[in-house]
């Protein structure tokens, strides 16, 4: 805890780390409830496996590309656009009732994840002093895990309260990520003003 104390004081860190937490809030619900939703739609095991694999494949394939672009064009646009794509694609899951539509949504989701994940860690390094690089990256991982842990719980509660309807869970998670875009933008603007 002593090592983590200084990191949140750095302007912009809380905004960027909350964006990562919001991003990972989606991972658990997608991995947990997308297969159940897809099964309810009558998709085969192979199709469900492809849906989960395609988004991971997008992160693996597109991550280095987006990382290089963020080095050249700035991190902020990739974080903001990536988060927006993730928010939209998570919300769109509930509106996709056939395999091709879900496959397209998962391609979008993986692309948004790749954009955001390629830009957030270096963005944090840009925001904090050199002596806080390691601490900030460690804190970032912890905050990411908080989002990933809470996501399935929040979605599970919503699914239970709605009588097993997945629409509200995916919509809520997408909405939380979209709302975080505003917080991130506000936090980064404050940092620019302070500089």
pTM of the model: 0.87
Spell out the residues 6+ positions from residue 18 whose beta carbon is closer than 8 angstroms to its own.
143, 180, 183, 184, 187
Q: Give the H/E segment covering residue 68.
A: helix 45-73
Structure tokens at 28: 């658990």
Report the pLDDT averaged over residues 150-164.
91
DSSP 121-156: HHHHHHHS-GGGHHHHHHHHHHHHHHHHHHHHHHHH
User: Domain-by-domain residue ranges, the chain?
Assistant: 10-189
Query: Nearest 5°: CA angle at 10, between 7 and 11?
Result: 145
E strand intervals along 17-96? none
Q: Give the H/E segment covering residue 14.
A: helix 13-25
Structure tokens at 22: 């919001």
Residue range 74-121, pLDDT digits in tens? 888 898 899 999 999 999 998 999 999 999 999 999 999 999 999 888
Does CATH number 1.20.1250.20 belong to domain 10-189? yes
Residue range 24-44, pLDDT digits in tens? 999 988 999 999 999 999 999
């Amino acid at each position: 805890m002593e090592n983590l104390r200084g990191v949140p004081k750095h302007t912009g860190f809380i905004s960027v780390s909350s964006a990562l937490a919001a991003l990972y809030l989606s991972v658990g619900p997608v991995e947990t409830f997308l297969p159940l939703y897809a099964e309810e739609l009558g998709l085969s095991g192979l199709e469900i496996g492809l849906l989960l694999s395609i988004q991971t494949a997008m992160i693996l394939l597109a991550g280095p590309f987006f990382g290089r672009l963020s080095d050249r064009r700035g991190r902020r646009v990739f974080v903001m656009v990536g988060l927006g794509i993730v928010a939209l694609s998570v919300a769109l899951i509930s509106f996709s009732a056939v395999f091709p539509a879900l496959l397209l949504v998962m391609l979008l989701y993986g692309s948004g994840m790749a954009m955001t994940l390629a830009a957030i860690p270096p963005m944090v390094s840009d925001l904090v002093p050199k002596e806080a690089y390691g601490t900030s990256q460690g804190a970032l991982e912890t905050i990411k895990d908080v989002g990933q842990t809470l996501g399935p719980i929040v979605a599970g509660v919503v699914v239970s309260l709605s009588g097993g309807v997945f629409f509200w869970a995916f919509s809520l998670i997408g909405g939380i990520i979209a709302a975080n875009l505003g917080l991130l933008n506000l936090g980064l603007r404050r940092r620019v003003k302070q500089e």
